[in-house]
Amino acid sequence: MALRTIFRMCSVVTGLRNCGVPRKMAAEKMGLFTTHDRSISSLDDYASLREHFMQFKGGSVDLVKDNETGIAVITLNNPDVKNAMTGKMMADLYDTVGDLEVWNAGKGVILRGSGTTFCSGGDLGTVRQICNQANGIKMSVFMHNITSRLLQIPMISVATIQGTALGGGAELTTACDFRLMTQGARIGFVQIKLGVLTGWGGGTRLTKLLGKSKALEVLASGKMYDSKEAKSIGLINDILPDDSDPEDSANEWLNRFCCWDPAAVSYTKSIVSVAERSPYEHALSFERECFSDVWGKPVHLNALNRNIKHS
Ligand SMILES: CCC(=O)SCCNC(=O)CCNC(=O)[C@H](O)C(C)(C)COP(=O)(O)OP(=O)(O)OC[C@H]1O[C@@H](n2cnc3c(N)ncnc32)[C@H](O)[C@@H]1OP(=O)(O)O
């Protein structure tokens, strides 16, 4: 079995979901668990969490995969409440990430909201029903698993932000490699204004993205950023015209990266992903493994025979 397939099955990144290895042990080795997470004690607990959150109904997370382009679109779909995330949508997103992890043709992922907005965070209906510490921990553990796996998936991902990305919605954008924002859109990590914190891992990812000082400013102010300000602090990568179709723009954005051989694309993402969170020697060893799996293979030999000039 090709190394790449094994990586995908083991979720390169998480080693948590589809491997036969004890997932908790793997997760601890990777430093994914905090003290609180220790309440999660067996391999089946994510499945139990999925069942638990399924009961908080409303909305859906829809996945469309294009086997020809290798680009998938995830849509957060709860338009009556600005695509707020119900428990059921969290469970759907868990399933969606699992589906993508074993999609061999996959090269790119677009995360978007239905209609003209991105996501207004946690659905307040769900939030009211789980508003105690035990349930908060459950949600956090579940969403940490989902967002970490989404970020580390061996495909290049982009969130397209229209309308508003608020609270948990802003956190979800940090589970993608890139963020695009329409000119009139706004993004805000407003949790502090509600007396809560980033429960879906957005604080940690934002700090990796922006560095300590800027991340602290964004999180501790609870400020809403327009597209220009968001670009100036490095929170987003590009601004799209308001009249553009964000999905088309995201496809165009991804096509620059997803036009290459699927193995090269997914290994490139995995190399960067592992390098970001591993000691240097470990990352080099991983990079070597990936390299050895493509070197001298038909795609490489064909390219050599074409005598390509890089102008
Ligand atoms: C996990 C931690 C977190 O996510 S903390 C953040 C939680 N989210 C919030 O507090 C969102 C509060 N909502 C807002 O600020 C505004 O509704 C935003 C999203 C800016 C949209 O404003 P605007 O375009 O004027 O629409 P609107 O207020 O009329 O909203 C339409 C209907 O949607 C609802 N809605 C909105 N957000 C949520 C949400 N997170 N959960 C549940 N419902 C939500 C609004 O209440 C409104 O409903 P209705 O039409 O009044 O029945």
pLDDT of 254-276, one tens digit each? Answer: 999 999 999 999 999 999 999 99
User: What distance in Å separates the CA atoms of residue 295 and residue 285, rounded to the nearest whole number?
Assistant: 15
| pLDDT for res 22 | 31
Return the residue whose CA atom lies nearest to atom 45 of ligand 1. Answer: 81
Span from the CA of 263 to the centroid of ligand 1 (angstroms)? 41
Return the residue whose CA atom lies nearest to atom 33 of ligand 1. Answer: 81
pLDDT at 5 over 90: no
Q: How many C-beta neighbours within 10 Å does residue 301 have?
A: 10
Span from the CA of 96 to the centroid of ligand 1 (angstroms)? 24
| pLDDT for res 311 | 86
pLDDT in tens, 6-48: 555 444 334 333 332 233 333 333 333 343 444 455 445 999 9
User: What distance in Å separates the CA atoms of residue 254 and residue 179, rounded to the nearest whole number?
Assistant: 11
Per-residue b or e along 231-247, where b marks 16 or more CB atoms closer than 10 Å to that residue's CB: beeebbbebbeeebebe
Average pLDDT, stretch 64-69? Answer: 96
Instruction: Name the CA radius of gyration of the chain, rounded.
Output: 19
Return the residue whose CA atom lies nearest to atom 23 of ligand 1. Answer: 82
Q: Which of 40-44, 81-85, 170-174, 250-254 has the lowest mean pLDDT?
A: 40-44
| pLDDT for res 7 | 54
Give the ligand 1 atom nearest the CA of 199: 1
Within 6 A (CB) of ligand 1 lie 81-82, 84, 120-125, 164, 166-168, 190-191, 194, 196, 199
The residue to which tokens 């009961």 are assigned: 55
| pLDDT for res 44 | 59
Alpha carbon of 246 to those of 32, 85, 101, 249: distances in Å? 33, 20, 24, 5
Span from the CA of 198 to the centroid of ligand 1 (angstroms)? 17
pLDDT in tens, 103-151: 999 999 999 999 999 999 999 999 999 999 999 999 999 999 999 999 9
Spatial contact of 56 and 125, defined as CB atoms under 8 Å apart: yes
pLDDT at 203 over 60: yes
Span from the CA of 91 to the centroid of ligand 1 (angstroms)? 21
- Name the token pair of 99: 């589906």
Of 203 and 7, which is predicted with more confidence? 203
Name the residue among 134, 136, 56, 150 with its Cα closest to residue 95.
Answer: 150
Average pLDDT, stretch 238-258? Answer: 94
User: What distance in Å separates the CA atoms of residue 252 and residue 247, rounded to the nearest whole number?
Assistant: 9
Return the residue whose CA atom lies nearest to atom 44 of ligand 1. Answer: 81
| pLDDT for res 249 | 94
pLDDT above 90 covers a percentage of the chain that reads 84
- ipTM passes above 0.90: yes
| pLDDT for res 2 | 55
Q: How many C-beta neighbours within 10 Å does residue 82 have?
A: 22
Query: Who contacts 44 (Cβ-Cβ below 8 Å, separation ≥6)?
Result: none
Average pLDDT, stretch 178-184? Answer: 98
Read off the pTM: 0.90
Span from the CA of 115 to the centroid of ligand 1 (angstroms)? 15
C-alpha 15: how far from chain center: 16
Q: Which of 17-21, 123-127, 166-170, 235-239 has the lowest mean pLDDT?
A: 17-21
